[in-house]
Each structure stands twice: as C-alpha cells, then as structure tokens.
A and B are shown apart, each in its own frame.
Chain A
Amino acid sequence: MELINNSQFNIGYICSKLQCLSGRADKTAFKFITNKFAEFEFSFNDLEINTNKFANLLKKIGIVKGDIIFTLLTKSPEQFFSFIGSLKLQAIIGTLFSNFGEDALYDRLSDSRAKVLITKKSLLKKILKIHHNLPELKFIIVTDIEEDISENILSYGKLMSQVSEKFEVEVTHPDTPSVIHYTSGSTGKPKGVLHAHRSILTQQMTSREILKLNQDEKYWCTADQGWVTGTSYGIIGPWSLGVTQIHFEGAFNAASYLKLLEKEKVTIWYTAPTLLRMLMLSDEDFYARYDLSSLKHIFSVGEPLNPKVIDWSRSVLNKEIYDTWFQTETGAIMIANRPEMPVKPGSMGKAALPEIKPAILSKGNNCLEPPNNVGNLCIEKGWSSMFLTYLNNAGTYDGKFINGYYYTGDEAKMDADGYFWFIGRSDDVINTAGHLISPFEIESAMLEVPEVLEAAAVAVPDEILFEAIVVFAKVKEDVGDVEELKLKIRLFLSNRLSTVATPKDVVIIESIPKNKSGKIMRRVLKAGYLGTTAGDTSTIEDF
C-alpha cells in the first residue's frame, strides 16, 4: 500500500498526519455545513491538531490502548476528531446512531463495556436514563457545554483546551482492533463487529478503484457516521487518499441536497437507494433548476438498487448510478458496479478487487457454478477488511465461517458474465432503508409494552425503504382504544429502539402462529398480510 510506511497501519495516523507529511497540510479535509447552511472548513492540519488533542484528552483521563470509546453524535466536527483521535491512541472507537433509543443504547454500551461516551447536550438525557446501569462507563464527554456537569460528565471544550497539540502515534500492528459497529443478526441482541487497523487497505483501495476517488475530487458521502458506510467511506477511505469531503448536518430534503451538489461542485456522490427513491418523488422540472455538471459519478449502497431508479437517473439526471454491496462485517465494498464496466440494472456488479473472492455456495457448502444458480453469497476468507470477531461472541463468529468462506446471510446468483444478483436474505433480518434490524429486537421491545402478550415482526416490500416493518401483537383483553394502543406501540419502538425500527403498520391479532418448537412463523404472518400463500403450514402449532 503506497501510503503506509514503516509498517504504520494506524488509521488515525494515515488519515491525518500522513496527509500533512505528504504536502496536504493546508488542503481542505472537510467542509462542515450546518443545517442552517453555515460553513466551516478544516484543513488536514486542523484535523491533525484536533485529533492529536483528542488522543491526549483520552490519555489524560486514563484511557489506554484497547479501551472502548463510543460517540453518540449527529454529524459534527467533534464526531470526526473523536473517531480519528481515538484510533491514534489505539483505543477502539464505535459510533452510535443519534436516533437510537435508550434500549438500543444500553444494549451496545453494556455489551461493549465502553469506558467513554462522547455526546452532545440534547442527546445526554437518553444516556442519563441508563447511566446508572452502566458501571463501566467512566466518563461522558459533552461537546457543547462550557463547564463540567459532574466529575464524570465533562466538557469537551474545556478538556481540549488543557491538552497538547502534539501526539506521537505508536507504530500500530495491522491486526490491532480499531472500529466497532453493532449489527443485527437473526437471533439475539445486536452483535459488536470488531475491525482491525488493516481494514484501511481495502477501504483505501475500493475508494480509489471503485469510487474513483483521487486528490482532485470533491466527495460527499451522505451516510450517517453511526453506520459502517459513514466510517469506512465517510471517514477512512477518502481521508486515507487525501480527498476533500463535504459533510452536511441537515436532514434529507430534495432541494437542499440538489443545491449542495450544485454549489459545492461535488464530483463523486455516495448515497443510498432510499434517498434516491425519495429524490424521484419530485417532478422532472425540479431537477432542471440545478446544474449538476460537476457531478461525475453517483454510487449507492445499503439495499438493492432497483432498475427503475437507474432508468430515472439516466433519463432525468443524465447520470449513471453504480450500486455497491458490502456489510458491516466485510468493512469495505466487496461487490460493485463501476464506471469502466456496463451497468446491468438490478445487478450488484462484480468482485470489487482481485483480493476479494465472492462465491455462490449451496447449503452443503458446494460451489454452485454460474450461470444463475441461487445459493448463499459467500466471500473467501482473508480480505484485508475482514472483521476480527464479534465482541464477546466468538462462537457466532466461528459459525459464520465454513470451509474458509464467510457466509453473508444473503442469497444471490451469478450470471454468465460474472455479475452477482441479490435474491434475498436467508434469514429473517429486515433491511429497511439500508439498515439491518432483527425481528427479535423489535419483538423483545414490544413485549415491554404492558398491553402486549405476544409479538412478531416481519418485513414487507416497500417502494421507498426497500423493506418496511410490520408488527403483529396479541394483546390483553379490554385494552380500550385499539387505535391508541397501536400508536403507543409505534412510538414505543421508535423511541426505545430507533426511528429505524418504526413500523409501517401495527396489526392486532388473536394469536401469533408458531411451529411445534415455539418458533414464530413469520412467513405465515407475512403471507397473510400481503394476501399471498404461506407455503407449507403443516407445522403450525397454534394459529
């Protein structure tokens, strides 16, 4: 790898110090645009200084290599300084989606035994509700308070003003743990996917070879830093190449987004199919108001990009959209469309790099030869951004690898030209707007609603979100206004788990169908809801 010298694999070092040493100290690392469109520019030298200070801040409060730090922030400069600064110290950094509710936050902070949380005042109240149950959480650092609130709740600004701008990053071994993201599986609580500093190899190469990032580009990745795309391609990949990014604090709004693409002369845009489908809702003459001539390429990630969006972009924006595929566990793009090869609308594309070897395997772990045999989408073990483990869950990690292949949980096929095509999930995990969520998590939360006796959650197709959540509840008798109860369940899920877990519909039913071993038969519920056939129902115990 061209940017790693003296075997220094430290992501923080490569994204800041090395960029300064390579003559980019004065170059803009990122322009931060607030939701009111105020602009703040930070050079790579600013990034270097602020991340050095953050590493020193952590050191000052007793944090050492291997300790786990989390951020709970909306897009802000402090998010980036905390992330890179923690990595410089070789602490492990995780990012939490700012709309997580207290149950989701508790699950992640308690499982990881996080020692420090960086947050802002308006999000602090969610943490204070659970703080008493998090004995390992030693410090909460708040980015927008002037003075410390207590001996454990400290002012970011005050701490940063007390530490040195210089920090010597120790030579970091490629297998040193770096970033943690929690992800949903089909069973149990979310699992902490732990990555290593070596992930930067794949993140940098895919940024260059797939996203076509080079130092002349102006790049905008719309993903929130709470998710893997936001860290792998909103921080690490582009900055490892010295690329200028824009980061926008505001929520999605078609006019704001188009205005930013035009005004900032963004050349490479990495976004999500859900967002593109929301853009499609505007009339065609709306787009004619914006000059997108600077925009060279649009890439998407999160959930399958339907051909309709590609056709729309070709005719309305006069741009091609290149869909990419990866997972939290893979750390970087594994399969992708790209400018130098024809796009087959609806396809995932081809293997992203020579080191990445996807395959379609049968249930018996045999390779299914193309074309068009449907099976498990697997990746041959050994790519650089492969996750290290599931934190505290080595057994589950081991179970993901069979005969040297990582099983992704997706079903796919490969055509005669080597293009992969997504078919569906091989488990019940729901992909809503690019976010994976386990039915188990939703059902567990629903059972906390006092009126709910039994619960089930399924995915149904959705034109905007790809999949939407529909929940079913068996409730106590005499619950009063059923419509009010449905609202209560909806808001409970949204506030306790995340807005991502908000159901499209809440259905009250007599009983939840289960098989003889007590497993919820979600396909039966889904078929009933969609008015399709449920297939074999002979094993239903109670319906």
Chain B
Amino acid sequence: MSVSDELNKIFREVFDDVSITVNDSTTADGIEGWDSLSHINLIVVIEKRFGIKFSAKELLTFKNVGDLKVAIEQKIMR
C-alpha cells in the first residue's frame, strides 16, 4: 500500500468517516472535525502505523496533507 493510500485509510479511521478522500492539498479546513485534539490523534496513529516519530517543531511545519506525506516518506526512507 502506498503512503497516500495508507494516509487515506488513517484519515478515515481517525475521523470515523469512510467517505473521506484526501489529496496533497487537503488542509484542516477541508475535513470536518479536524481540530487540535483530533490532529494529535492523527499524528499518534501515523507514528504508530509507519513506525516513525515527529518532533514538536516538525508538527508546526505541516500546512497540508502533502507536507505530511513528504515528511513520512523521508522518515521511512532513512
């Protein structure tokens, strides 16, 4: 499964909505219920599923799903 597909699956699980389809330009404004607390859920699940860790500073740099995807890909390639 590609990073994009896995990310989409995680978004559906975190926001309990099977209709969600994210792309690189998706932001918090495009997903109902994406607040600061559900964002933490999202990061926790991503870290677990991909076996990676984000620093607090990295978390502040993600402006959309594309940024998140790039960061995941860089970490899993290391």
Contact = CB atoms under 8 A, between A and B. Distances in A.
A36 B29 contact: yes
* Majority SS at the chain B contact face: helix
B32 interface: yes
B17 to A, nearest CB: 7
Contacts of A99: 33, 35, 38
A491 to B, nearest CB: 6
Contact of B33 (A36, A98, A278, A487): A98
B28 A251 contact: yes
B41 interface: yes
A205 B21 CA distance: 48
Given A35-B29, A251-B28, A499 B44 contact: no
26 contacts: A35-B29, A99-B38, A101-B16, A125-B17, A125-B19, A251-B34, A251-B36, A252-B36, A484-B48, A487-B45, A490-B41, A490-B44, A491-B13, A491-B41, A491-B45, A494-B14, A494-B37, A494-B38, A495-B16, A499-B33, A499-B35, A499-B37, A499-B38, A499-B41, A502-B38, A502-B40
A250 interface: yes
Contacts of A98: 32-33
Interface string A474-500: 000000000110010011001100011
B32 A483 contact: no
Interface of A: 35-36, 74, 98-99, 101, 122-123, 125, 250-252, 278, 483-484, 487, 490-491, 494-495, 499-500, 502
Given A483-B48, A491-B16, A495-B16, A502 B29 contact: no
Contacts of B44: 487, 490
Contacts of A495: 15-16
B14 to A, nearest CB: 6
Contacts of A502: 37-38, 40-41
Nearest to A483: B48
Contact of B48 (A74, A101, A250, A487): A487
A500 B37 CA distance: 7
B54 to A, nearest CB: 15
B41 to A, nearest CB: 6
A484 B44 CA distance: 11
Contacts of B17: 125
A491 B38 CA distance: 9
A380 B10 CA distance: 51
Contacts of A35: 29
A495 B41 CA distance: 11
B29 A250 contact: yes
Given A250-B29, A251-B28, A484-B48, A491 B35 contact: no
B35 A251 contact: yes
Contacts of A487: 44-45, 48
B69 to A, nearest CB: 20
Nearest to A250: B29
A396 to B, nearest CB: 29
Q: Pick the most buried of B14, B33, B34: most chain A CB atoms within 10 A of its CB.
A: B33
B38 to A, nearest CB: 5
Contacts of A250: 29
Given A98-B33, A487-B48, 11 more contacts: A99-B35, A99-B38, A122-B32, A487-B45, A491-B16, A491-B41, A494-B38, A494-B41, A499-B35, A499-B37, A502-B41
A500 to B, nearest CB: 7
A278 B59 CA distance: 14
A353 B64 CA distance: 47
B45 to A, nearest CB: 6
Contacts of A499: 33, 35, 37-38, 41
Contacts of B16: 101, 491, 495
A122 B31 CA distance: 9
Contacts of B15: 495
Nearest to B27: A35
A460 to B, nearest CB: 15
B18 to A, nearest CB: 10
Contact of B14 (A74, A122, A123, A491): A491
A494 B13 CA distance: 11
A39 to B, nearest CB: 16
Nearest to B34: A251
A344 B68 CA distance: 43
Nearest to B28: A251
A278 B35 CA distance: 13
Contacts of A36: 29
Contacts of A125: 17, 19
B74 to A, nearest CB: 23
A101 B45 CA distance: 19
Contacts of B41: 490-491, 494, 499, 502
B16 to A, nearest CB: 4
Q: Which 5 A-B pairs have the closest CB atoms?
A: A499-B37, A495-B16, A35-B29, A122-B32, A502-B37
Contacts of B34: 251
A500 B36 CA distance: 10
Interface string B29-73: 100111111101100110010000000000000000000000000
Nearest to A34: B29
B57 to A, nearest CB: 10
A4 to B, nearest CB: 38
**Most chain B CB inside 10 Å of its own CB: which residue of A278, A490, A495, A500:** A495
A530 B51 CA distance: 27
A35 B17 CA distance: 21
B2 to A, nearest CB: 21
Contacts of B28: 251
A487 to B, nearest CB: 6
